[in-house]
Amino acid sequence: MNQNLAFADYAVFIIYFIVVSAYGFSVYHKRKKDEQDAKAYFLAEGNLTWWAIGASLIASNISAEQFIGMSGEGFFLGIAVAAYEWLAAVALIIVAVWFIPVYLKNKIYTMPQFLKTRYNESTALIMAVFWLFLYVFVNLTSILYLGAVAINGLAGGEYLHVIMVGLALFALIISLGGMKVVAYTDVIQVAVLIIGGLVTSYIALTTVGQYFGVGENAIAGFKVLMREAPEHFKMIIPKPTATSSQLEIDKYLTFPGLMSYLAGIWIINLNYWGCNQYITQRALGADLQTARTGILFAGMLKLLMPLIVMLPGIAAYVLYTNGHLPQLVGGKDGAYSAVLTFLPTGLKGLSVAALTAAIVASLAGKVNSISTIYTLDIHKKYIQKEAGEKQQVNIGRIAVFAAMLLAVLFTWNDILGIGGVGGFTYIQKYTGFISPGVFAMFFLGMFWKRTTGTAAIVGVILGFVLSVLFNEYAPMLFGNETLLYTAYPNGKGAYEIPFHICMGLSFFFTMLAMIGISFAGPKVNPKAFEIDSEMFKVKPQTTVLIVITLLIIVALYVKFW
């Protein structure tokens, strides 16, 4: 079975590249006047439609780490990993109804600006620098590396650096046009991503049907998956017992059943979707109703994502365990690439285009956020205070180029060791440690007027320290069984607390510390936001979207609980 791409595959890919590039140039040409308006360039202020916002959110979110990493978790865990996507839809409802009104009413354009407005300039500067380092050296590098490795494997395994540079240049071209070009090309990227992803899932299911003698029928193939791997269609991973195997323990460590829903998964989602420049930037330039509709549209698209990024992993598991997938290499992270080998010529090119669309959209969105934070929150405030609108746009473009160049340099020979730990794990490790403190700082800053700047700084530092403590040292210091947690053997000679539980504990104690410190300040912090109930009222059409989304999620959980 040939993994290499044929002429028809390259032709499909080239057509995709031309369409995206031509549309991006068309959008840029129509809005060239944005070069005289920094906020229009960075935020596409007032110009994005709800469907562009929603599509751009998904395009920026879904990347190589989802296609490769989540398919791998589908191979390992099964449908339980879909909770990341389905509960993200609930998180997006919370963000649309309660978070976005606070941002828009207070004219917040960047996350550091939120911190300066609500707390103080020191907090804003510290976090601006932190986010720049995180986005460049964790997110940007891992997306670029994992994407290049995935496509290189499909192209024959000899073009890693060429593909890496090609992805960077493609994203660079889109990014230099500003947020409007990024967002509207994301609409095409999402269409390609969804169509290509659905084609891959369909071929995976029909292949399962063929091998198990039920014919080329996707529905029949899905029934085979449920029959052959019933444990892969349970949302809740059972808690290990004294007789549990190491494999069962490893699954629980990755996704600790009901405890995930009481702890970490909400912190991950609400911090990512509600307190992240990379994501919120799409909605910060729109009016409230457009922003809300776009975010809820993204939430509905999230319901579809497990079908695209998780189901091929389960199909790979069933095929592999029955001896029908000898081409799988690299363990669970090789599941998606192995499934792609079943695609016929032409469709394989479409799937590569879908993977490329996910990677390029994420890269473009990330560098746009990097340039926005650097230009508006650092360069304009501390380096060139008198910079005019056009100068800010030019500075933003230089920042885009510099960020992408750094990403290429640090992934060229994998200086950061991303390949050693895996791209998905690399991102989770370094963003997960800081999430509890950042989310606590934003949540209390929005909704509790007493929260002080001192509490915010303590919260960020304490959240990180506690995350490290619970993840790395707690079992050794306090034992494997306490009132707060149970640590389990990780198969490497040590004991671990499930990561989601660590996040929940870190968040809980960080909140307690921040509340205690804030009680030493005034009852109402002078920098607290003005909030009234009118801000959070939703229109009937918005309520309808929310109800439909929640009903679908309830139906999915009833089916697969």
14 Cβ contact partners less than 8 Å away, ≥ 6 residues apart = none
Around 448, how many Cα atoms within 13 Å sit in the side-chain half-sphere? 20
Task: Decide if domain 7-95+147-252+282-424 falls under CATH 1.20.1730.10.
Answer: yes
- Within 469-498, where are the H helices? 474-478
Taking only the tens of pLDDT, the chain with its 561 residues reads 345 678 888 888 888 888 888 887 887 777 665 556 676 777 665 678 899 899 888 888 887 777 877 888 889 888 998 998 999 999 999 999 999 999 999 988 889 899 999 999 988 998 899 889 888 988 888 888 888 877 887 776 678 889 899 999 988 888 877 777 877 888 888 888 888 889 989 999 999 999 998 888 899 999 999 999 999 999 999 999 888 899 899 889 888 988 888 878 899 899 989 998 878 887 887 899 999 999 999 999 999 999 998 999 999 999 999 988 887 776 777 788 888 888 888 888 888 888 888 888 888 888 988 999 999 899 988 898 888 888 888 898 899 999 999 999 998 887 777 765 555 566 666 777 888 999 999 999 999 999 999 999 999 999 999 999 998 899 999 999 999 999 999 888 899 999 899 999 999 999 999 999 999 989 999 999 888 888 899 999 999 999 999 999 999 999 988
Burial string for 384-421 (b: 16+ CB within 10 Å, else e) reads eeebeeeebbbbbbebbeebbeebbebbeeeebebeee
What single DSSP character describes residue 486?
B
CA separation for the pair 508, 267 (Å, rounded): 11
CA distances 265 to 83, 314, 359, 433, 460, Å, are 8, 22, 24, 13, 19
> Could you tell me if 209 and 215 are in contact, meaning their C-beta atoms sit under 8 angstroms apart?
yes
> Could you tell me if 166 and 14 are in contact, meaning their C-beta atoms sit under 8 angstroms apart?
no
CA 5 to chain centre: 29
> Could you tell me if 53 and 294 are in contact, meaning their C-beta atoms sit under 8 angstroms apart?
yes
Residue 495 pairs in a beta bridge with 489
User: Model-level pTM?
Assistant: 0.89
CA distances 404 to 82, 137, 166, 369, 373, Å, are 31, 10, 12, 12, 15
- Within 155-303, where are the H helices? 160-175, 179-211, 218-228, 246-254, 257-262, 264-274, 277-280, 288-302
> Could you tell me if 257 and 78 are in contact, meaning their C-beta atoms sit under 8 angstroms apart?
no
Phi, psi of 489 (to 5 degrees): -65, 135
Residue 489 pairs in a beta bridge with 495
